[in-house]
Structures are given as C-alpha cells and as structure tokens.
Chain A
Amino acid sequence: MENRSEQDETILDQAIQGNEAAFSILYKDNVKKIYSYIYYRTGNVSDAEDLTARVFQRALKHITRYKKTSVPFSAWLYRIAHNLVANWHRDNQRRKEVPIEDHVDLRSKQDIPDHEIEKKQEVEGLMRAVRQLPSDRQMVLILKYVEDLSNKEIGEIMGKSEGAIKSLYHRTLMDLRDYFEVKE
C-alpha cells in the first residue's frame, strides 16, 4: 500500500516537472471519476465529455504550478471540474435534466424489471430534486454516493472540515425530504 502511494508521489512529481507520460498515468487514474462527477452535474454525455476534456487540458497546462499538499491530487481536478461546471451552468442559463434513460441503460437491464414505471418516475423525481440543489450540495451527494468517499475525503476535496461536510450532508437530506413532502 505504501509502495503504491510512494509510486503515486513519484508519478505526481514527474508530472509536475512536465513529464507527459507521468501526466498520462494521472489522467488514466482520474478520468472516470471526473467524468462521472461532470456527467451528474451536467446531465448529458456530450457536455460531460467536452468538460472532462477541458478539465484535463487545463490540468496539463497548469500542472507545473501545482503545489503538493496532504490533499489528494484528485481534489485539484475536482476543483477545476467544479469551476468549469459552474461556468457551464452560467453560460447555459437553464439547467438541463438528466436523461434518465441514458443513466438506466448503463446498468444491467436485468436489474430493472419492465413494469417498474412508477419506480422510474420516482427516480426521475429524485434526480430532478438533486439538480435543484446548490452546487456544493450536489457535489457532496455525488462524491458520497458515486465516488463512495468518506466525509473526511469529501472535506479534503471541498476544502472544508469533516464536521462541515456532515452538517452540509444533513441539510441536503433535509432539503430533499422537504422537496418530497411538498410534492406529496
């Protein structure tokens, strides 16, 4: 495990020095996470692909200025992604809905019985509610459920304490609950 982290450190050092092969390894390690995050924030594949490319182009351009800290490298990428998504939302004005069909298709069809239209509607409603939340709350939910990160790790990425993430998460759940209560 330590060997792995030492190896990661070496790769990161090389990438900071401008080694493209090392950056390539960092790219491979992080591209799926960043894509997943952007996909849930934008709601469509083409924008997710476009913004993911821009995240890594920006990272490659500025990696020589990257300052190593105790925070994982992915936190830096997430912050770039977060800023780009915020700009994207500003440019687009109206938020797009997540095409649930796309999302559902990505999972095994065996998991979804045909008759579960009600369930699908419920999922659509929940996704709609998630997308109404402020961006930092969406980020907490995506990092918690999609990336399966702990509050501590989310805090490192978002530059907040573990306690702050815990309370942010609770407020997020309360907001979602209120949304459903109002709807019902």
Chain B
Amino acid sequence: MKKKDGMKIDSDPDEILDENLEEKLEGLLSPVAPSSSYIDELQNRLTKTPEVVVEYPNYLISILVLSSGFVLGTLLLFFLSKIFRLTSSKAKA
C-alpha cells in the first residue's frame, strides 16, 4: 500500500476521516477527576450520620407557671372581692 505523508492513498476517504475524528475524540475526551477534598467531603456526608440534637420544650414548667398564675389570680380576685364587700358593709353601717 502506497503511503504519502503518513496517509494511506488507497484507503477510503471516509475511513481516513473517521480515523482523524477518532484521534480528535481520543485527544479531547480524557478522564476528569474531582478534587480530593470534594471526594472526602462527599464520603463524609454519605456515610456519617449528622449529629442532630432535638430539644423538646419542657411542658411541665409552662403548665406550672400557667396554673400558679391562675391560682394566684383567683386568690387575688377572691381577696379583692372580700375587701370590697367588707368596705361596702362598713360604709352601709
């Protein structure tokens, strides 16, 4: 087979084009690696369970505060009404 400038003269022009194209693709498409920090970070994200602390509200304290407020309010109303009754009866007498 005759050769001129490294090209096969008798070859099918389509084949030569394909070979050139394949060479170009080979030169263009090479493996691309992510950064090692990205690889490690993603590995950590995938395999390590996140440490999440869930804090539930303490309902007991709020119930105590509300109930003591209610009791104190009731007592205050009771004493105020007592005082009011006493003063009004004294005023009538």
Contacts and interface: CB of A to CB of B under 8 A. Distances in A.
15 contacts: A23-B47, A24-B47, A27-B43, A28-B39, A32-B31, A52-B34, A56-B46, A106-B32, A127-B28, A130-B28, A141-B29, A145-B25, A145-B28, A145-B30, A146-B30
B93 interface: no
A136 interface: no
Given A21-B47, A53-B45, A141-B25, 10 more contacts: A24-B46, A27-B43, A31-B42, A36-B33, A60-B46, A106-B30, A106-B32, A123-B24, A145-B26, A180-B21
Interface string A50-76: 001100110010000000000000000
B49 to A, nearest CB: 9
B91 interface: no
Contacts of A49: 34, 38
Contacts of B17: 177
A128 to B, nearest CB: 11
A33 to B, nearest CB: 8
Interface residues of A, number: 37
Interface of B: 14, 17-18, 21-22, 24-34, 38-39, 42-43, 45-47
B34 A123 contact: no
Contacts of B30: 106-107, 145-146
Contacts of A78: none
A48 B34 contact: yes
Q: Majority SS of interface residues in chain A?
A: helix
A53 B42 contact: yes
Sort A-B residue pairs by CB-CB distance and give the 9 closest, nearest first.
A145-B29, A35-B34, A20-B47, A39-B32, A36-B32, A146-B29, A36-B31, A24-B47, A32-B33
A23 to B, nearest CB: 7
A173 B22 CA distance: 8
A56 B29 contact: no
A168 interface: no
Given A23-B47, A53-B45, A126 B32 contact: no
A166 to B, nearest CB: 13
Contact of A32 (B22, B34, B43): B34
A97 interface: no
